[in-house]
Chains A and B, each alone.
Chain A
Amino acid sequence: MSSHREAPEISKDPVADSTDVYAFVSPDKPNTVTLIANYIPLQLPSGGPNFYEFGDDVLYEIHIDNDGDGQADISYQFRFSTTVRDPGTFLYNTGPIGSLSDPNWNRVQTYDVSVVAGGSSSTLGRGLPCPPCNIGPRSTPNYAALAAAAVNSLGGGISVFAGQRAEAFFVDLGSIFDLGDLRPFQNLHLIPTPAAPGVNATNDLNVHSIAIQVPISTVTRSGRPTIGVWTSASRQKARIYDADAGEYVNAGPFVQVSRLGNPLVNEVVIPLGQKDLWNSLPPSDDKKFAGYVTQPGLAALLPVLYPKTFPNLAAAVAAKTPRADLEAILLTGIPSGIITGFTNFTGSVLADMLRLNTTIKPTAKPNILGLIGGDPAGFPNGRRVIDDVVTIELRAIAGVTYPLVAPSYKPDAAAGEISDFVPAPPAIGSPPISTFPYLGVPYSGYNEPS
């Protein structure tokens, strides 16, 4: 998955587990960027009676580096508070929830937003309402309107939303973690079975999204239109269970337990023994992981798992030449002169961040393969909710982007065709919407019970 349950420790802490980060120029407000960080992976919509919510004891952040050093220059911080209106009932809601202030809604979550920049912290909003989870037609009969009411304008051109949304990331999990199987190509696998259509394992599942839309002018520096974006979640160092109160208590400074910039990096690039460490560090420390990016294990596995399918990739792996194309895509941005008219280079510091060149405006006809599909408004120039990042990264690692830095290299024919979905990903049940926060209306427990 992009970053769902990607490391041993964070897989045991879902509320702090970041799953996806998106950063794109807002298609309906192109003078702004939208930044989205998703948490709490693989939510079964019917997962009540204690439905999903953010952690009151977690510090959630979305960071922006605008000078290329891999460190945060601007951090948007989100802290949540939960209230139980009637502790005498087991119900999440005691009747239909018609509005965000409806007394029928029993377990309510609100949040504060602040921004840290230039050494000072400013509060942008306090006590902002999250929407409830989407329960079903009796409990949340007009969910789309309920969620829309939870979009808060904070002034200064800033909008914010935090709450449940439909998962937009698509991947055939059941297949790809079965020894790198891709169903459409599994007839070529080392352990072959007849080719079959891919299955979107995240279909009909929800996530919890933190989304903020801000003017581009407030997050970029003069002459540096490309920003680096990532999210982190932090917990206080000490946590003990107070059995008398039946609650956890926390103390000490916050320490980072989850991080996410580019999709799939900690998931399939960083080795198992380094994943928890990677989650605890800032992007500015990523030099120590650069070898895993420039000589990824997956590139070596593909020729083994798919014999005779990737001979050129096998030769490139055997040559042990660092993959400068992958370093550029994931760690520095792509310098000018590599792809005509495009750059999202932020400098020589190796740092895993989504890099968004904010001067590239949205296109009316986006290509889900982003830059490798000829659409520079998509991944790896930031990331839109529609982008097929699994296919893009799979093909890049398989060699399709290697000629950008090694013109004599000829990618294998399969490198430009592999995907877990052929000819295209299946339609998402609740597709993205055209306005902030862009992710689709979450699936309801009643309508998607299993």
Chain B
Amino acid sequence: MPSHDARRASAEGAGDPDPLAGSSGRRLSRRSMLHTVATAGAAGLAATALGAAASPAAAATRHPSPGSGSTAKAASGPLVVHVRDARSGDIEVFSGTSQTRLRDKDLAARIARAAG
């Protein structure tokens, strides 16, 4: 039996095809928001975060959810970064239906400086 989160994510993936695609009206679904809305601030921070995650100084624990899709898919939607504790470098990155936990003091400090 899959985990609760895994099962939720499966449904998320299964629901991706849009039954009303092509209708003339404006779409207000959450899915379309994820694909079309650019949240500049969050995405900018996230791009920094993902870049830093590849560095040797960064430790990352990814909690993927089936259905969250490939990196390309995740990058097409908003990335939301939550610096839980700037002092210890505890960072969460939310993308699609996935969550990545980082511990990167340098990145946390850069984000904190960017936040003013």
Point out the residues of chain B lying under 8 angstroms from A247, CB to CB.
28, 33, 37
Contact present for B98 and A252 (CB under 8 Å): yes
Which B residue sits closest to A118, measured CB to CB?
B1
Q: Counting CB contacts under 8 A, is A126 at the interface?
A: yes
Point out the residues of chain B lying under 8 angstroms from A123, CB to CB.
14
Cβ 8 A contact of A253, one of B24, B29, B65, B79: B65
Q: Counting CB contacts under 8 A, is B11 at the interface?
A: yes
- Known A116-B2, A238-B80, A253-B5: A56·B10 in contact at CB below 8 Å: no
Kindly state the separation between the CA atoms of A152 and B34 in the bound complex, as whole angstroms. 29
- Known A121-B11, A126-B17: A82·B29 in contact at CB below 8 Å: yes
Kindly state the separation between the CA atoms of A207 and B91 in the bound complex, as whole angstroms. 40
Q: Counting CB contacts under 8 A, is A312 at the interface?
A: no
Instruction: Tell me if B's interface is mostly helix, strand, loop or mixed.
Output: mixed
Min C-beta distance of B79 to chain A, whole Å: 7
Q: Counting CB contacts under 8 A, is A86 at the interface?
A: yes
Q: Counting CB contacts under 8 A, is A254 at the interface?
A: yes
Cβ 8 A contact of A72, one of B7, B14, B65, B96: B7
Q: Counting CB contacts under 8 A, is B54 at the interface?
A: no
Kindly state the separation between the CA atoms of A205 and B11 in the bound complex, as whole angstroms. 32
Kindly state the separation between the CA atoms of A91 and B30 in the bound complex, as whole angstroms. 22
A-B contact pairs, 23 of them (CB 8 A): A56-B28, A56-B30, A59-B11, A71-B1, A75-B7, A81-B20, A81-B27, A82-B29, A83-B23, A83-B27, A84-B26, A112-B14, A112-B15, A114-B10, A119-B2, A126-B19, A127-B20, A238-B80, A240-B42, A249-B77, A252-B80, A254-B8, A282-B4
Interface residues of A (CB under 8 A from B): 56-57, 59, 61, 71-73, 75, 77, 79, 81-87, 108, 110, 112, 114, 116, 118-123, 126-127, 234, 236-238, 240, 242, 245, 247-256, 282
